[in-house]
Structure 1
Amino acid sequence: MYEMLSSLSALCLFSVAAAREITFPPVFGVQVPFGSTGEHDIDGELDVSGAWYSGLMTYANLPYVHCLASDGENVEKYDIAIVGAPFDTGVTARPGARFGPSGIRTGARRIAPQFSWNMYTGRNSFLEWAKIVDCGDAPLTFLDNTVALNQLTKTHKVISGREANDTEYEVPRIITLGGDHTTTLPALRSTYDHFGPVSVIHFDSHLDTWDPEVLGGGLSHYAGVNHGTFLHIAHEEGLVLNSSIHAGIRAPVANKKYDLRHDKACGFSIIKARDLDRKGTQGVIERLKERTSGTKVYISVDIDVLDPAYAPATGTAEVGGWTTRELLTILDGLTGMEVIGADVVEVAPIYDNRGETTQLAAAEVVHSLISLMVETPVKGKLLA
């Protein structure tokens, strides 16, 4: 009996030892292993230098560059920069969008440059002429809005002020991850320096051209700068052209006549959310192109342009919005535009569901904005 037990123990030990040695069969037809960004040598060492879901999180696993390095430091060149704007103290409803940049990056974990060939166009914007990087987040205080917005303005000016990687198109362009919608104002101030006034295509459920005396109550200049007044201020500063347009509007206004007249005076026309039912996506695309024809364009996407069923994680949700597919179809249809800057804002991850619905949608919207920028390079003025 003892000899039999000894033999069984020896057999078990041998089986465990043998099980530790795993031999993989040869892999055919696989260029890069799913989940790895490096070469894979079946007969040699595994390359673990670029696995997905590891290391610091960047948008779409893009390389991180310290774009805000001090003067004199060597900074890697880029053509399109992703920058986060963790700011939400300009909201009039639910806060939480300061965590939007990290939420959008979370939604982009499954996107990777070498695995992004578009099913509809056959193109991969990450692998074309533009060098695209993630610059991380702007360092913004959460205790003083005026200081924070000045910090964000300087961040934009530093990032856009560096010489681009492509020598023919020497001004880098920025896509901002928000953050509440107030963060678009510093972005427009920066693009004005390089490209002059622009047409704004504003995807939103709200107008955001309210007079600071109305939305802010006239309490103070400080209170009047918020996520519902930034387009009024941009118009006041001469940053936007009278060929600007809203898309997806459906929220109520404060004053039956004044708000709409004032919006028109700020240079905007309106595509309402339900206009999509009559015009279709192609009709909306044609209207946006017609309105902004011959101008340089800044695209701002408030994630609440989507119905709360598709984007619950936002500060001021309005029912009756567009689907994610409809928004992406419209964005992808804006080919040929000279898009000089863009943002995706009002993503507040605390209100998202376990499936990260809003964050996934926002990440894909950013992807579409990148594609528009890559398809049409734009020349700007590099400041001395």
Structure 2
Amino acid sequence: MQPKGFALFGAVLLGVSRAREWQFPQAAAAAAAQQPLGRVSDDNDDVDILYGSQFNGLNTYARVPYVNCLSNEEVANGAKYDIAILGAPFDTAVTARPGARYGPRGIRTSSQRKYADFAWSVYTGKNALKSWATVVDCGDVPLTVLDNNYALAQLTKGHKVVSGRKAANQSISSTPRIIMLGGDHTTTLPALRSVHKHWGQASVIHFDSHLDTWEPSVIGGGLSDYAGLNHGTFLHIAHEEGLIRKTSIHAGIRAPIARPKEDIQNDEHCGFARITARDLDRIGTAGIITRIRERVTGPVYISVDIDVLDPAFAPATGTPEPGGWSTRELLSILDGLAGLEVVGADVVEVAPVYDTRGETTSLAAAEVVWSLLELMVETPVKSLADQAKYPRSKDITST
């Protein structure tokens, strides 16, 4: 017997017709296999052990299929995808607390309640895993913990291989897109290199409490060139490599800077405008969304350092800064970016060892990844190779 109010709740959540038809995939087999309490059936043919709950199976993001995207053999056997989840377990270029090498694992674990049959949004009525896009989890790129330069070279090659496969839905885009699970923020540099190869210069929407455009001579480079590449300089280096547009923007900035005049000038030289954390108090989430949309042009890369959130919502991060945004505010802002041509994205600096017992930070990060996935599904984007084949007027811009 259904609990009182179930039919009304189901009708609201799923629509009246779907509420009547929908049931757990194994419901029929379970009903057939029921026995009186204390008895065991001799015939177990009707017991379903193929379909799992959200708590079993390999630990992939939102229970999407696992594909070893780095393996030529597996891809040759027909494994294709449009959007790839890719882990970057790297944290040896931080200036504060290490631990983000465990971020990909933590985010995947906290995403286990999401799966294709139970991921319809109450806000939009859509489900990113029931769209045109084939979404897979490629696991993590194997990265050494002993040499930063070599590890980042490994990650650069990993992005190159994963983004270089033929997409599943060739009619929309021949090039798959990647959502990366970090890892410290240095891992965004290899991702931007990959994006540049397929889509050209991108505008970066950088959600963070820190600028991350410092000159290597200010953070690390005074010691060695090796030390100059870190999670506070990667955007400066991306600018020097010509990877990003001068229509980029920071959002959520509030951390102190080293040189009041020079750091701001250098930031603007790297192509960034700034939205501070307290700007939200004056103009609200709608105002933040408007500023971002007015600033960025062309293909967009979204990088979310989880420390953009206040430590009350995300304590498990390498460099926490009080006075940040709430999880709800960040998710609302991300939803407001629908329609932008998001060609790549990441969530970084999640360090589960500092999290609460309730996995506060990892849960927030998993939800942010979902929002990024929704943005990618909402607006397919042609790569440079596709644009050469098909005129812009024929591009598919919305699902």
How far has the Cα of 1:382 moved from its partner?
A: 5.1
Match of 1:302 in 2: 305
Match of 1:136 in 2: 139
How far has the Cα of 1:256 moved from its partner?
A: 1.4
Separation in structure 1 between the aligned mates of residue 108 and residue 385 of structure 2, nearest angstrom: 29
| Partners of 2:302 and 2:345 within 8 A in 1 | yes
Equivalent of 1:232 in 236, 257, 273 = 236
2:333 aligned with 1:333: no
Deviations 1:220-277 (A, max 9, x none): 1110000000000000000000000000000000001100000000000000000000
2:319 aligned with 1:316: yes
Separation in structure 1 between the aligned mates of residue 78 and residue 106 of structure 2, nearest angstrom: 26
Match of 1:354 in 2: 357
| Partners of 1:296 and 1:338 within 8 A in 2 | yes
Match of 2:218 in 1: 214
Match of 1:120 in 2: 123
Separation in structure 1 between the aligned mates of residue 385 and residue 26 of structure 2, nearest angstrom: 36
Match of 1:172 in 2: 176
Separation in structure 1 between the aligned mates of residue 236 and residue 221 of structure 2, nearest angstrom: 15
2:50 aligned with 1:49: yes
Gaps of at least 5 residues in structure 1 are 1-27
How far has the Cα of 1:217 moved from its partner?
A: 4.3
Matches within 5 A, 1:367-382: 367-381=370-384
| Partners of 1:67 and 1:75 within 8 A in 2 | no
How far has the Cα of 1:30 moved from its partner?
A: 6.8
State the aligned residue count. 352
Separation in structure 2 between the aligned mates of residue 74 and residue 260 of structure 1, nearest angstrom: 51
RMSD between superposed Cα atoms in Å: 1.5
Match of 1:205 in 2: 209
Equivalent of 2:161 in 154, 158, 162 = 158
Tell me whether 262-271 or 284-293 shows the greater mean CA deviation: 284-293
Equivalent of 1:193 in 193, 197, 204 = 197
How far has the Cα of 1:312 moved from its partner?
A: 0.2
Match of 1:32 in 2: 23
One-letter identity of the residue aligned with 1:265: H
2:51 aligned with 1:63: no
Tell me whether 344-353 or 118-127 shows the greater mean CA deviation: 118-127
Greater C-alpha Rg = 1
Separation in structure 2 between the aligned mates of residue 377 and residue 39 of structure 1, nearest angstrom: 36
Match of 2:394 in 1: none
Match of 1:21 in 2: none
Match of 1:243 in 2: 247
- TM-score of the two chains, using structure 2 as the length reference: 0.86
One-letter identity of the residue aligned with 1:65: V
| Partners of 2:213 and 2:236 within 8 A in 1 | yes
Gaps of at least 5 residues in structure 2 are 1-18, 34-45, 387-399
* 3-state secondary structure, aligned to 1:257: helix
| Partners of 2:221 and 2:229 within 8 A in 1 | no
One-letter identity of the residue aligned with 1:365: V
Equivalent of 2:293 in 278, 289, 305 = 289
Q: What's the % identity of the aligned pairs? A: 64
Match of 1:148 in 2: 151
- TM-score of the two chains, using structure 1 as the length reference: 0.89
Separation in structure 1 between the aligned mates of residue 22 and residue 49 of structure 2, nearest angstrom: 16
| Partners of 2:254 and 2:321 within 8 A in 1 | yes
Match of 2:276 in 1: 272
* 3-state secondary structure, aligned to 1:278: helix
| Partners of 1:100 and 1:348 within 8 A in 2 | yes
